[in-house]
A and B are shown apart, each in its own frame.
Chain A
Amino acid sequence: MIEPRATRCLPAVDAVIGKIVAVHALLMSESDISPRNQKIGIALRELVELLLKSYDPAETAAILNHAEVAALRISLLARLSKAELALERYWSQRFITRKSLGVSDLTEFLYWRNYERLLGLELQALTAMWRRLSLRKNGGIAFVGAGPLPLCCTSGPASLSFVSMRMLKPVKARVNFCRSSVSMG
């Protein structure tokens, strides 16, 4: 007999819910939520890996609508935001102390691959819709919400130039953290 799909999905759903609850509890109990705290580093990496997996609509709904997950979501997002700030500060401090810094150094950043993939997908999408967009010549690019490690400000404009989107005039970024700050050169 074939089990209903919802029943077969339960282990995946339960695994995500269990991880969400555990990571939230850890984030709330630890005072240092930077990568210096190994428990935090491991837990967040595992959470990201789990959430990067593919879930069908029924599984997604079961996870997001789970009473415990729904109840802690806002608090989780707030703590994750602080953890991301701590993560970027940690890595920017690692980089800033080096005598020289190239793009190859930046690839050491734990989530570099995610940034690189996203930039690639953005360039692909922009290229596809290029003719539809009315981009003014010689305008700058503003990055709203850049953190202490502004990877997209540093690698993005170079990539944009690389695909000959030369109507944009990339601007060098100098960044401070603010949840809705603007970075320009």
Chain B
Amino acid sequence: MHADGVDFDYGRVSAIFIASLVAKKTDVAQRIVETCKEPVVAVRTVDGVRALLYCPAHLAALEVAGLSLAGQTGRDPESINTTLFFDGAVNDHAHDRAA
């Protein structure tokens, strides 16, 4: 299926990967938190000079959206991106919607 990530209902998924090129990462994160109970979210980003290839994810904004940083990949000389892993707090609102 194909849908806009900002409007999609993530209630049926447990893990979500967000690509580096996604411009509205925070909006997508907010939608995930609204619609998915206990999501695991992987956000691909860049650091250092690689911010000249992609727009980096804004960690603080993702946390304000309701995600909690659980870990991340290490920096690697052969990989352009790094990935931040988040879990969402138990979201009763999303749970109620799913029920």
**Chain A interface (Cβ within 8 Å of chain B)?**
16, 20, 47-48, 51-55, 60, 63-64, 69, 73, 76-77, 80-81, 84, 111, 113-114, 117-118, 121-122, 124-126, 128-129, 132-147, 152, 156, 167-168, 174-176, 178-185
Contact = CB atoms under 8 A, between A and B. Distances in A.
B15 A142 contact: yes
Interface of B: 1-6, 8, 10, 12-24, 27-28, 37-38, 40, 42, 44, 48-55, 70-74, 76-83, 85, 87
A133 B4 contact: no
Contacts, number: 173
Interface of B is mostly: mixed
Given A114-B78, A122-B83, A139-B12, A55 B6 contact: no
A23 B26 CA distance: 29
B22 A179 contact: yes
A88 to B, nearest CB: 10
B38 A134 contact: yes
Nearest to A150: B19
B2 A168 contact: no
B19 A122 contact: no
11 contacts: A63-B49, A117-B78, A118-B73, A125-B73, A142-B8, A144-B5, A152-B19, A156-B17, A181-B2, A182-B4, A182-B5
